Amino acid sequence: MHMKIGTIISALLSLAFSSAIHASTYTSPDGNIGFDLPADGSLVEVKNPPAPATAMWEVKGGGRLIFLTQPDPQNHLLTLSALEEGTRTSFPGSTLLPSSETTENGVPVFTVSAVTKTGGHIQQTILVFNKTLYKLMAVGPKSISSDPHFSVSFQSLKILDPEPNSPRKKFSGSDLGAKFGVLILFIAAVVWVIRKIVT
């Protein structure tokens, strides 16, 4: 009898835990991107975030997680160097931390981190597929990769489309300027969102 009760309790706890994990998962409106949020609820969703943010969460005491999307009809093939240059341009005086480039389902996934001249930390993961540019970005007072409020989201970021249309075209010299323009405008929009929320 005691064993049966113990088994039932274990099953209920397991179900409750699974529900909590499920409740802390975010999926983009188009269903193409998904990532986890801290199961402890430490990130509080900001209702009706300012454009171009698609979704935004904040941490009590400082720090924000921002998810953005932007149409990209040309399905730009990004490069890590362009993203690093865009970060330097949009955050003058910042110090870049080691960047990374991985691949998921054939789609390049770039992560760029920096420390601003005022000591704030920024981390952003950017990818393009299905003619859309996606960005997950966090700003906070300490290293994003080691901050439990944000690290789970970056580590769990996944492409949910089983057959994403990834960019293949290499850029020519004339295309390069347009590519930089797209990236800088997109990052500038993020900066605008951050300043609008903070001020």
Condensed to tens digits (0 to 9), the pLDDT of residues 80-137 reads: 988 888 888 888 899 999 999 999 999 999 999 999 998 999 999 999 999 999 999 9
> Can you give the residue ranges of every domain in the chain?
26-198
pLDDT at residue 181 is higher than 50: no
pLDDT of amino acid 101: 95
pLDDT of amino acid 169: 56
pLDDT tens track for 67-79:
999 998 888 888 8
CA distance 23 to 67: 18
pLDDT of amino acid 140: 92
pLDDT of amino acid 194: 52
- Do residues 51 and 62 make contact, with C-beta atoms less than 8 angstroms apart? no
Average pLDDT, integer, range 18-46: 83
pLDDT of amino acid 4: 56
Q: Which of 122, 84, 76 is nearest to 101 (CA)?
A: 84
**pTM score, two decimals?**
0.77
Buried b (16+ CB within 10 A) or exposed e, 86-123: bbbebbeebeebebeeeeeeebbbbbbbbbeeeebbbb
CATH architecture, domain 26-198? 3-Layer(aba) Sandwich (3.40)
Give the torsion sign (CA, 138, 140, 146, 152).
negative
